[in-house]
Every structure is written in C-alpha cells, then in structure tokens.
Structure 1
Amino acid sequence: MKKIFTILLLSGSLLVSGCSDWLDVLPKDKQSTDMYWESSEDVEAILAQGYSRLRTCVPYIINWGELRGSSVIVPGRGTKTGLIQNFQVLPSTSTVQWGTFYQVIGMANAVLKYAPTVMDKDASYYESRMNSHLTEAYFLRGLSYLYLVRNFREVPLITEPYVDDAMPNDVAKSSETEILELIRSDVHAALATNAAKETFDGTWATKGRATKWALYALMAETCLWAEDYEECVTYADYLINATAAMRPVFMSTPGQWFNMFYPGNSNESIFEIQYDETNYAQGSGSPSKVFPYGTDVTIDSYMYSEPMTLRLIDEYTQHRGDEISRTYYGSFAGTAYANYPDNGIIWKYSGMGVADREAVRTILDANYIIYRMADVMLMKAEALIRIGGSANWTEALAIINQIRERSELNPRSEVSADNINEATEEMLLEMLLDERDMEFAAEGKRWYDLLRYGKQQNFKYKARFKAIIMENNLTAENKWLSSVLDNDNAWYLPIPAEDIFNNSLLTQNPYYE
C-alpha cells in the first residue's frame, strides 16, 4: 500500500513556456521535505506532476466508465478489458488497479500540506498565488476520489502526503458517504478564498488546469452522485447562468460540435486532459491511441456494440439537416462501411476535420474531455427529474431537447411540455439516459449514468438497470449477467490484491472474497 502512495518529489525548476513544459515534469529523485519546498516553482512542479499522472489515468477512465455499460465494447471475452465488460475481473487483473489515481492524490496532498510553508521561504510567493495552487490541488484530489468511489464504493481515504516512514502503512477503507463528503468539503475550501481562476495564460492551460468552472462541474457531479439533487442544480446553474466573458458556453450551432474533439479545447469545454504528441511525444494513453480509426477489428479493438451502432444509425436517419454532428461526425462509419462491426468504429477522437470524414489524425494528440457544458446541462436535467414536479420536469425536457437541437434532431416525441403530467419519472430518466448515451458516446460516462440509475432511491430501478445492460452486452451469457447483476457488490471493482496483501486493515469487496 505504501508503495502506491509514496510521493516522488521533484528536483529542479519548472518552465511554463508551453503545454508539455508544465505537464511533463517527471520525478527524478526522492527529496526530503525540508530540502524540497523552497520556492513557488517547487509547488508548481508538484502540481504539474499531478496533472501528468492524471494523464496516465485515461485508459482506466475509459475502461471503467464505458465497458460495463456495453455501448462501447471490446470483442474479446477473455482479454483484460473484456473481463471488465463481462463482470469477470479478479483482484489481480491489471486493468482494475487504482495506483495511478492515488499517485495523483499524493501529489495533491503534498501541495495542500506544504505549499503554505513556502511563503516563509519565498518572498515572491504571495498568498493569492498559493491559494490558487491549493484550488488546483483540491480539484485533482476530489476528481481522483470521485473516480475511485464510483468504481470501488469504499476506498482508503488518504489526506496526508507519504514523504517518509512516519505515515502508517495500514489504512482501512472509508465509506462512500465519507469520501463524497471529503470531495464536497474540498470544493468548498477551494472556492472559499475566491482564488480559483476563471482563466490561465493560454487556451490549453485554461482548459487543462482546474478553473473555478471545473470546480463547479466537479461539485455538480458529486452532488448528483450523492443524491443531493437541489445542490447539483445550484452548482450546474453557476455554470449555465454565468456571465463572465471567458466562461465555458454551450455551443448551439451544429457545425461547432466536432470542434470539441478536433482541434479540442473548445468554448464548450470545461476541463480536458491534455495531449501533444507532435511537440512533446505525449500520446501513449490518449483517446486517439485507445480508439484508433480502422476496420481491422481484433479482440482488443474498442468499438460500439451492435445495439449501440444500430441506435447511432437510427438517429442518423432521423436528422433534419446536413450536419448530424454527434452521430455522423462523431461516431459510426455508416457511409463508408455497411456492416457491423465495420460500422461500429469510434471516430470522434481519431478523425480530423469534417468536410471529409476519411481524414484521420496521424498523431496521437486528441485531448480527453472530462467535463463540457452539455454534460453539466444534462446533470441538471437529471437532478430536476429526480426532484420531481411538472415545472422541474418541463425544464428538464427543455434541456434534453436543447441538446438534440444542436444535432439537428427533432424534440423527443414521447412527451412534450403540453402533456408533461402524463409522463413518469422512469420515462423521463430513460429519455435522459438515451440522450447521454448518444451525446457522450465513448467519453467514459455511460457506466456511471447507468449505475446512478440502478442504485439511487434505494435501488428503485434495479430491474430496469439490469435489463439495459443485458440488452446491450452480447459478449456474455445472459444467465451469467443476470446472476452477477443481482448482487450490487458486483457492480463495483475488486480491491487490488497487492494492496490487500500489504495493508492489514484493507478488506475485500464482499463479492470478490
């Protein structure tokens, strides 16, 4: 356990002249705390390492957020990724290890503990700048814990940096409630000083570092997960109703949709994990590496499942205009290849330009979008549906249809503002799930959307949650899926075996004991 959490402190100074200069500082040596924390550059170096480590989390973010939802799949049943989608992972499976997220947490913990001490040693390190650095550390820690709690439910809650042998090696798991409360407390602390920036120098930094807007989005999603729907609406509205000149905005013109992925860092973006292979040899874990464009399907290929591909094609046939952005430009290759699996290709990260859909990136530079405005808007819609009442449901429906309008789709036909009282909560939630499935295809959100649906309100929609997964997962036996999904502990990943071995206080997820 200690091995995972140990911080490798950096030596040397930090250059901030470009994207990779800031993100690619790598640990070179273990430094004692007293020797290391001397200047503002030291603080930024550790922050830079936190963001760099977050980049290495992207393959896990994709696997954990997509495969169990079965809109994105891999064909191979026995592959390490196939085991995730078929709920067959073991504590030793390499694709379900949590160490990289704890490395990010460790970097954040170090900044939170030691950045204030630098003010006594570096006269140029003003409190305002220090507080700004703390806001970024709070975001990195909170985002990492949100991924961990959604995938493991209970995990060790580490809030101190591991810099020497004084820290205990054995740490028990904390409850889901405790972890969610820490995230919310962190966001409150980050916002309390008014030091969170709205912009940084350069577009890549504004979208690739934690801004006030990113903190709002993190809080909205955390509250949604915690079933605090009123607070989710509050923080979503901080973004939706913002008036600042450089705020993130929902891009309503259909032709703008693909700009979010090529070239990236769009006006709609709130927070993206940055890649730049051209100048800095980044890209090994980029989404354009994970989702390469091609028709040579192997057992390790990522693609849309056949049911998802049929949904994409059906939506394409319903569009009103020439720019059905999120399906044709972002998803299936229907006009180039007629049959599945060839038309199950994921194109949004590998394509470039929209005039010719066969133009393919030759470099692995696609950013990975964690939050964008459409996501926050649909978070609010989900919360409004859960809160209930005809006014809230009418507003939620309007948001769903606003997202559809951007892709030149007609409003949902099942219900309208005129007959909203004839709708049911289940009907509206499934409409929202469908909308999120199409809008955020391959963006690492599908499993968490389904999991909220299945677990919240005391497992109110558990039966339908199971049915949706079984309808879309064609790589596992239905009897197996039905059996495993009956046990809600199986909805979460196992605690890594090595950490169980090294930490006497850790207990395994009951399903995997």
Structure 2
Amino acid sequence: MINKIKYLLLLAVLAFQFTACNDWLSVLPENEQVSDEYWTSKEEVESVLASGYVYLRDAVPRLVQWGELRGGAIYSINGNDLQTFQVTPDDGSLCSWAPLYKVINMANSVIANAEVVMQRDETFDEAVMTSYLTEAYYLRALSYFYIVRNWRDAPLILAPYETDKISYEKEKSSEAEIIAQIKEDITTALGSGAAKEKYEEDWATKGRGTKWSLHALMADVCLWSEDYQAAIMHCNEVLDATSAFRPVFVTDPTKWYELFYPGNSNGSIFEINWDHGVYNQTNNLATQFGNGSPVYVYSEQMLLDWIDETDLTGSNEAVRSLYGAFVPDVNGDDYANASLGYVWKYSGIGMQAQVRNTVNEQDPNYMVYRVADVMLMKAEAMILSSSDMQAWSVAIDLINEVRTRAKLPVLEPVLEELNEADMLELVLYERNMELAGEGKRWYDLLRFGKRDGFKYRSLFLIDMVVAYNRTANPAWIRSVLNNDDALFLPIETSELENNRLLVQNPYYHATN
C-alpha cells in the first residue's frame, strides 16, 4: 500500500538521480545504468507510481489556471495573461507542459518495468502488479487529456526516459492520435479487470486511480471526441453501479459541503489529496481562494449568478451559493449588494462564513471528478445523442437531481418548444454553478463551442466568455476566439529550443 503520498521523494528516495534541466521533460536520469540497477523490487514500483501522484499534485496550480481563467467565471485579481488571452511562448509558468510530462514519465516507467520486476521479486504478486498498471494507465491518460485540451497537438511519449542515450527530441502527434491513445490506455486498464473499486484507506479510494475514475475519465474523453453513446455507457458504469463500494450521488443538501470539507466523501470519484495533520502536506488553495488575501475571485457576472441563486433558495436555505460556493464582501443578509464574491469551496469549513484558520486545515483537496459531474456529462451526452424527447427528458431529470440537492426549484420546460441549443444551455449553466472553481469551465466552453465543426462557437464559446470576462476588451476576445489555433496554448520557448522537432502553434508563430 502506498503511504499517503508522503514526500515520496521524487527520485532521491527512488535512487533515481534526475537533473534540473529545462527540457520539456525535465526528469532525466543522470546515470544510464540506473534502470538495470533500480528495478528489483515491488517497493520500487510502488515508489515510482506514488511519485506520479506527487507530480500530479505539484501540477495543481496550473490545473486551476488552465481550467478556469480563460472561462471568465473566475479571474485573478493580480492579472494573468491567460484571462486576457495574451499568453506568449515566453510565459513559461502558464504554457509549460513539463508538470504533466513528469507524471507521464513516472507512468511510463511503471508500465515499462512492472512486469520485469515481477520476474525479479517473488513477493510481487501478479494481481498487485496489474493493479499498479491500471493506476499508471490512468495517470498517463489523465495527463494527456489535460495536454490535448490545452495544446491540442503534442509529443506522444509512451516509453520512459531512463538513459541518456534516449533522445527527447520528438515531433508532435495530432489531437486525434493522442485521444486514441488515451482511450486505448483506459480500455487496457479496464480490460484487465484489476482496477480497484476501493482501497484499504478511505483517502486512497478517492485519491488514487480506481475503476470509477477510469470510467469518469473515459466519459469525459468521449464527450470531447463527440462519441456520445460511449460517453453515456461510461457514465452509466458509475451511475448505475450496484457495488457496495461505488461512489454515490449524495442527495442530502446538508452533506453537500462535505465534498470539500473534509473531502474524500461518497460523492467524490477522484481528488488530489493533501494531509497536513499526518504528513505535513499543505497547499495554498485555501489562501488563494479565501477572503483574506485572495488571488482568485468570482467575476462580476458569476457573482450576479450566485446572487440570483441565493434569491431562489433564500439565504437561510442556500446550499451551494451563499457560504457554500461563495462568500460576499458584505454582511450575509445584504448579499444582493455584494460587489465581490470569494470562492469558498477550498477556504470554508461548512455552510457558514467560517474559514480554515488553523495550520492543520491548509490542505484542501483538489476535485477532479465527482458524481454530479458525471450526471451532467450524461445529460449532455443524452441531448447530443438524440433529439428524442425521451432522451431529453432523462437529461432534464439529471439536471433536476443536481438542482434539488441544491434546494433549487426544478426545471419544467416544455421540451417540444426547445431546440438542442436550448437544452445544452441548461446543462452548461448547471455545470458552471455546481462545478465552479473545479477547473472545468474553460474546457466546458471549448467543448461546447467546437463540437460539430464549431457549430456553437458564437453561442457557447465567444458569447459566454465575453459575458463573464471583464478583464479584456470584448472585441479582442472575439478576435482571438474566432481563430481555431488561438484556442490552444503556445509551446514554451525553451521547449522549442531543446526539441528541434517541435513546431510552434501557428497562431503564436504568426504573432511573435
């Protein structure tokens, strides 16, 4: 059992000695003999796998920025080139894919060497080995999914960098090739039958790759690639599961906040874990999203959305709005006059304006997938898979389950009077409110806007960003978002210098 991703020590504990170079994959071993000397025991496989989770945790600040700032519902009060759509190849902190390739290299190392270790270590049971492989495939697939949504095309690396004889110069693969590999990895992991439903420790069931997180990821990938029937199937693997260890949609409104405090709840599928009390692990999420000295706050339009939601429930009955998802900069009873809204999911400790204010509470987890997310994925896929009113009725029922848990009135549309765009707008709005601050907004807008040959570019991508983003000129936003290449990040300058086979995203090549 992996101990709770303690400092797992990156490679010092592993006996890997890595350089601090600035290459696109900056974890290269110094000693070309290290692979033969290292892979001898199951503990070493376990340590490398755990390092993948450590690197994923290190990537969280970027996951927040990439998933939120271009969407406009949350913005940085310090300014940020992402939210103004002025990022350049020299913005290394914003356009470096290195944090994700570090995760990928750890996953590749496990995939390449686990079976070798099983031949060397008689105590390494095949079932355990195969289970570790499912986690490695999950980490690799998840990392590449972040990459493809942010850069579209990127190097597809499927072997570990274990000796200095391996060239790290590699051309980009296409979005379609990367998506195909992601699906293959998930299919391989699920097909082995070794993906766990639960671990011995509760945190691990939510903080490590499981059967449920593989299905959630595959549903997300299928939505992105417009394979709606497959998306529905994988959503159902979560939503219709009967296992005693399945994640469940918790209908009790009083339990909503337990998703975030203390975290690892029944409604969670996969979240990136920290634990200060036991392992002295902390992050800055509570501070960056708090109302003390925040970095990220809700935009003006998002604050208005929260005020409208609180009006519907009343301040005393609010679940995911007042003191749930946001805290206004005025007295709670005067929330309608708020001019600033603070993101509360990572800062509060419950349904009141009570902040995480002890040292041991500066370790909120970062949510990646939860059941409500999968329910809304299924609603989206049901709408797009068919124009049949029965399918659309299922989508409305799923949306209403989420709304009912938030103590909001149910939607009762006359489906025959709605078109596909109307239905999708209901899903998109619900995703924005339920999943606010969870790194979903930009990917949702991009996915909705680009589908079916950018059928909804204006309605769901450009108009939505303009409506929520007040940090950039609307005309500038429109001009950027009308360019397909500008929807994706540039390759960092140093990566181009170190990998001569890379070609810059043409939008940034032309503008720089």
Q: What is the match of residue 166 of structure 2? A: 167
Q: What is the match of residue 280 of structure 1? A: 279
* Structure 1 residues 204-353: aligned runs within 5 Å: 204-284=203-283, 286-294=284-292, 296=293, 301-319=295-313, 322-334=316-328, 335-336=331-332, 338=335, 343-353=340-350
Q: Is the 8 A contact 1:320 1:409 kept in 2?
A: no
Q: Deviations over 1:381-433 (max 9, x none)?
A: 111111122111110011011100000101125x1xxx212211000111111
Secondary structure of the 1:327 match is: coil
Correspondence 1:420 to 2:415? yes
Q: What is the match of residue 48 of structure 1? A: 50
Correspondence 1:392 to 2:391? yes
Count of residues in correspondence between the two structures: 483
Q: What is the match of residue 7 of structure 1? A: none
The worse-fitting range, judged by mean Cα deviation, of 140-149 and 318-327 is 318-327
Q: What is the match of residue 8 of structure 1? A: none
For residues 72 and 236 of structure 1, do their structure 2 counterparts lie closer, same or farther at Cα, with a shift above 3 Å needed?
same
Q: Is the 8 A contact 1:233 1:383 kept in 2?
A: yes
Q: Is the 8 A contact 1:25 1:48 kept in 2?
A: no
Secondary structure of the 2:222 match is: helix
Q: What is the match of residue 484 of structure 2? A: 488
CA positional deviation for 1:20: 4.1
Distance 2:105 2:317 in 1: 45
Q: Deviations over 1:198-251 (max 9, x none)?
A: 011110011111011111111110111110000000000000000000110001
* Structure 1 residues 34-73: aligned runs within 5 Å: 34-73=36-75
The runs of 5 or more residues in structure 2 that have no matched partner are: 18-30
Secondary structure of the 2:368 match is: strand
Correspondence 1:26 to 2:7? no
* Structure 1 residues 457-476: aligned runs within 5 Å: 457-464=452-459, 465-476=461-472
CA positional deviation for 1:86: 1.0
CA positional deviation for 1:125: 0.7
Question: Percentage identity across aligned positions?
Answer: 45
Q: Is the 8 A contact 1:320 1:408 kept in 2?
A: no
The worse-fitting range, judged by mean Cα deviation, of 219-228 and 339-348 is 339-348
* Structure 1 residues 189-208: aligned runs within 5 Å: 189-208=188-207
Correspondence 1:497 to 2:493? yes
Distance 2:447 2:435 in 1: 16
Distance 1:60 1:341 in 2: 29
Q: Is the 8 A contact 1:352 1:361 kept in 2?
A: no
CA positional deviation for 1:357: 2.1
Q: What is the match of residue 502 of structure 2? A: 506
Q: Is the 8 A contact 1:332 1:343 kept in 2?
A: no
For the aligned residues, what is the CA RMSD? 1.7
The worse-fitting range, judged by mean Cα deviation, of 93-102 and 235-244 is 93-102
The runs of 5 or more residues in structure 1 that have no matched partner are: 1-14
Q: What is the match of residue 3 of structure 1? A: none
Distance 1:488 1:234 in 2: 30
Q: Is the 8 A contact 2:68 2:439 kept in 1?
A: yes
| TM value normalised by structure 1 | 0.91
| TM value normalised by structure 2 | 0.91
Q: Deviations over 1:40-68 (max 9, x none)?
A: 10000000100000001111110000000
For residues 120 and 269 of structure 1, do their structure 2 counterparts lie closer, same or farther at Cα, with a shift above 3 Å needed?
same
CA positional deviation for 1:24: 3.2
Q: Deviations over 1:313-370 (max 9, x none)?
A: 100110179432111232222344758876410111111133x423434331100010
Distance 1:156 1:84 in 2: 23
Distance 2:429 2:225 in 1: 22
